[in-house]
């Protein structure tokens, strides 16, 4: 849809004195002597004449300027003129009340809540739009959004936050597609036009690297962790032993632990790949977690708040307190992978499956063989497949 523009600006709308100020295409800002500001559109109704036999031209109110933005006024004026050109009197036929982009987006979010993979994904859908789209196009009528408006949202973040911009783009497209299906829009989706037209520059994907510790340095770190009583130290020890992701360790619940079978089963909803993942538990792992049952918490690694998991920053902050710089918690997965290859001589498929990577993907199905870092000892414990 074409960009709707005129002569007036937001500054002029707020500052112009009494009078009738033209924006173009029949739209006027009327400022009363009292300072009250309102929008009107003048339209000529096709096929209708006034008492003098001339084409019927009539002014229609569009609302106060304090409630209706200049973009909304232009969009409403366009709809009124469309009706008039069709020979319909807007006063009697009523221009369709076009919802704003934000109104449609929030309804899409509500309608699709039951279909989200999890609550986090549903929250991300609306949060990204609140952060990047609503401030610029949220109040615009959904039928007034064209390529310029979409570009105003995407261009500032396309290069620096490309993955975020890509997701915002897809979510804007979804909202506009829904609006079109409900009769609020016509024509091609501007997001599709921008993509197919190559309007935005190509951005080379930048791999996300998590700084890893050399596996030769892990035994010393592990010994330091073993001497600490902090919950974060215990969680980090288990992370090193299992090669599990931070969220998997911190979200571990007692119901996932089968002590008799010596098995930890992480459910699909907590796994990145959406498939259940089973981790065999060694004596050292059980020695870390079993004493924590005394806390009688839902979570194995309880945080400061009762029955709430440890903060996802707790382990990283612990590393900083230990003066371990330039290393991320997630990086221990890479450390695990290096050790499995260089020391354990584990087959690639086993090593990748131990990290719950999909074999054949860029990073690699679910199976994990744990490792133990004990006083410089390195060993590949017997793993169990799922």
Q: What is the pLDDT of residues 311-334, one digit of tens each?
A: 889 999 999 999 888 888 888 888
Using CA atoms, how far apart are residues 306 and 149, in angstroms rounded to an integer?
A: 47
Using CA atoms, how far apart are residues 56 and 58, in angstroms rounded to an integer?
A: 6
pLDDT at residue number 233: 93
3-state secondary structure of 368: strand
pLDDT at residue number 216: 87
Domain-wise residue ranges, the chain:
10-93, 101-196, 215-385
Using CA atoms, how far apart are residues 282 and 94, in angstroms rounded to an integer?
A: 72
Tell me if the domain spanning 101-196 has CATH number 1.10.150.130.
Answer: yes
pLDDT at residue number 384: 30
Cβ-Cβ contacts under 8 Å for 273 (sequence gap 6 or more): 356, 358, 365, 366
CATH number of 215-385, picked from 3.40.50.300, 3.40.50.1470, 3.90.1150.10, 1.10.443.10: 1.10.443.10
Cβ-Cβ contacts under 8 Å for 119 (sequence gap 6 or more): none
CA 109 vs CA 68, 102, 166, 234: distances in Å: 24, 10, 18, 39
CA 62 vs CA 29, 70, 102, 151, 295: distances in Å: 10, 11, 20, 28, 63
Give the tokens for residue 20.
């009738």
Domain spanning 10-93: which superfamily? Answer: Integrase, DNA-binding domain (3.30.160.390)
Question: Is there a contact between 239 and 228 (Cβ–Cβ < 8 Å)?
Answer: no
Q: Which residues of the chain have pLDDT under 50?
A: 1-3, 361-386
Q: What are the b/e assignments for 321-347, b being 16+ CB within 10 Å?
A: eeeeeebbbbebbbbbbbbbeeebebe
Question: Cβ–Cβ contacts within 10 Å for residue 96, how many?
Answer: 14
Apex 39 CA angle, 34 and 40, nearest 5:
115
Per-residue model confidence as pLDDT tens digits over 337-350: 888 878 877 788 88
**263-266: strand order across its sheet:** 257-258, 263-266, 277-280
User: Token match 């499956």: residue?
Assistant: 353
pLDDT at residue number 377: 36
User: Token match 């969220």: residue?
Assistant: 247
pLDDT at residue number 287: 93
């Amino acid at each position: 849809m074409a960009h709707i523009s005129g002569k007036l600006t937001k500054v002029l709308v707020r500052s112009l004195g009494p009078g009738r100020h033209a924006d173009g295409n029949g739209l006027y800002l009327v400022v009363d002597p009292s300072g009250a500001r309102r929008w009107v559109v003048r339209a000529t109704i096709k096929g209708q004449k006034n008492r003098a036999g001339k084409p019927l031209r009539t002014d229609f109110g569009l609302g106060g300027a304090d409630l209706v933005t200049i973009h909304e006024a232009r969009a409403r004026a366009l709809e009124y003129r469309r009706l008039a050109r069709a020979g319909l009197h807007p006063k009697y036929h009523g221009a369709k009340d076009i919802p704003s982009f934000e109104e449609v987006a929030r309804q899409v979010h509500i309608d699709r809540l039951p279909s989200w993979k999890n609550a986090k994904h549903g929250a991300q859908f609306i949060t990204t739009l609140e952060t990047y789209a609503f401030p610029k196009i949220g109040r615009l009528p959904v039928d007034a959004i064209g390529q310029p408006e979409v570009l105003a949202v995407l261009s500032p973040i396309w290069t620096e936050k490309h993955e975020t911009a890509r997701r915002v783009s897809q979510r804007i497209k979804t909202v506009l597609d829904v609006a079109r299906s409900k009769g609020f829009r016509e024509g091609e989706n501007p997001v599709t036009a921008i993509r197919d037209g190559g309007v935005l520059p190509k951005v080379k994907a930048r791999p996300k690297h998590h700084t890893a510790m050399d596996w030769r340095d892990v035994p010393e770190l592990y010994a330091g962790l073993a001497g600490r009583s902090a919950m974060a130290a215990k969680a980090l020890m288990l992370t090193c032993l299992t090669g599990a992701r931070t969220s998997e360790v911190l979200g571990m619940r007692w119901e996932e632990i089968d002590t008799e079978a010596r098995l930890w089963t992480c459910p699909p909803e907590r796994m990145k790949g959406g498939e259940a993942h089973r981790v065999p538990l060694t004596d050292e792992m059980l020695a870390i977690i079993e004493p924590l049952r005394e806390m009688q918490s839902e979570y194995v690694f309880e945080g400061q708040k009762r029955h709430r998991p440890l903060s996802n920053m707790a382990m990283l902050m612990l590393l900083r307190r230990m003066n371990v710089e330039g290393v991320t918690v997630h990086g221990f997965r890479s450390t695990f992978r290096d050790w499995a290859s260089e020391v354990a001589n584990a087959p690639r498929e086993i090593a990748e499956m131990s990290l719950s990577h999909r074999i054949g993907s860029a990073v690699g199905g679910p199976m994990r063989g744990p490792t133990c870092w004990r006083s410089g000892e390195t060993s590949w414990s017997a793993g169990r497949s799922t």
